[in-house]
Amino acid sequence: MPPLTYQSAGVDLALYDQAMARLPQWMQRTHTPRVLPLVDGFAGLFRLHKTADPRRRTYDDPVLVSGTDGVGTKLKVAQRAGRFDTVGIDLVAMCVNDCLCLGAEPLFFLDYLALPQDDPDRIEQLVKGVAEGCLQAGAALLGGETAIMPDVYAPGEFDLAGFAVHVVERARVIDGSTIRPGDVAIGLASSGFHSNGYSLVRKVVFEQADLSIDAVIPGLNRTVADVLLEPTRIYVPTILRLLESVAPRTEVTGLAHITGGGLRDNLERILPADCRLVIDRRSWTVPALFTWLQELGPIEREEMFRTFNMGIGFVVLVRPEVAETAVRRLEALAAHPTVIGRVAAAEHRGVVWAG
């Protein structure tokens, strides 16, 4: 019997080295003056001193904010389509949009990629997407891990996860504690399904309707792949610009990223115990792609709202006296804002529908 090697066990170190050699070019595009150069290090270095990057806000009492997430079964759609350059954007979006809900600006991002075999082209495309997401968010892609695990994942499968670190001045933390009756909820448009509900999407589209990934969706004039792989919108630049003109906590009282559980679950978690949010579902037009999926299922309307963002990917709660100013500012930032509801006094917190 010939001697065993790592390659015979399914891990080709030569291919792995090829893949790793392709990644620094994408990572370095995201680096700011705060990233310290380090060759072949075991970790990344990020400078916090206020003189490191004069373009950034300075802090008197900085608080670090961290969050981690993945892309879920949207990865299965990417696998089916053979497209791997956009789910990295989704990964960054899921992490940074969550941290943004505390009013925090991104500092850096780390990714974790796992595959069953070495595949330099796929690895590069995935990391390229992560780098693009970091550029959109203003975060440095500081490092990551690529794991080759032949016995954990089936051929062709992969997983992608990430970790974001943000910073916010302690006095400017937006945690929902200042929300009160009368506050106005402004919804910002989503780019599509974002990265939630894909187990249901795949069941309807590929199992029940038996559509091909390249099928053109009637009325949308886009393929299934194009619609389902539309990257999650990154709201960081929009919200940080808004907070330059509308004060956090005193005027912007709450921020919510609309992910799994839809509007109701994600807005309820930021409300004080004595407040409820009344959302008028007639205040915005649900995008056609959600109607298409609902009819294709069929899926009941309430299940759609319980599972998907329904066209509203992020919600900003503001004092009524600054609502008009906030809407104008968000319109100027091309966020497509819509006033979707108001906060009312209640014995128990919750979100209720009007319409």
Domain residue spans of the chain: 7-172, 184-354
Q: Which residues contact 275 (CB under 8 A, 6 or more apart)?
A: 179, 180, 181, 343, 344, 345, 346, 349
Q: In what order do the strands lie in the sheet with 62-70?
A: 62-70, 159-169, 105-115, 140-148
Q: Quick one: pLDDT at residue 310?
A: 98
Q: Quick one: pLDDT at residue 56?
A: 74
- The 10s digit of each residue's pLDDT in 167-193 is 999 999 999 999 999 999 999 999 999
Number of H helices, E strands in the chain: 12, 14
Q: Quick one: pLDDT at residue 52?
A: 65
Under DSSP, is residue 172 helix (H, G, I), strand (E, B) or coil?
helix
Task: Please state the rounded mean pLDDT for residues 64-71.
Answer: 98
Taking a C-beta distance cutoff of 8 angstroms, is the pair 206, 282 a contact? no
Mean pLDDT (the chain, rounded): 96
Distance CA 249, CA 284 (A): 26
pTM score, two decimals?
0.95
Residue 2 DSSP symbol: P
Residue given tokens 């108001």 in the structure block: 342
Under DSSP, is residue 253 helix (H, G, I), strand (E, B) or coil?
strand
Q: Quick one: pLDDT at residue 328?
A: 97
CATH class of the domain comprising 184-354: alpha beta
Residue 352 has pLDDT above 70, yes or no: yes
Q: Where are the alpha helices (DSSP H) in 138-275?
A: 198-202, 224-228, 236-245, 262-268
CATH 3.30.1330.10 correct for 7-172: yes
Please, how many CA atoms are within 13 Å of residue 94, restricted to the half-sphere of its CB?
A: 26
Residue 57 has pLDDT above 90, yes or no: no
Q: Quick one: pLDDT at residue 40?
A: 80
Q: In what order do the strands lie in the sheet with 184-189?
A: 252-257, 312-318, 184-189, 338-345, 275-280, 350-354
Task: Please state the rounded mean pLDDT for residues 92-113.
Answer: 98
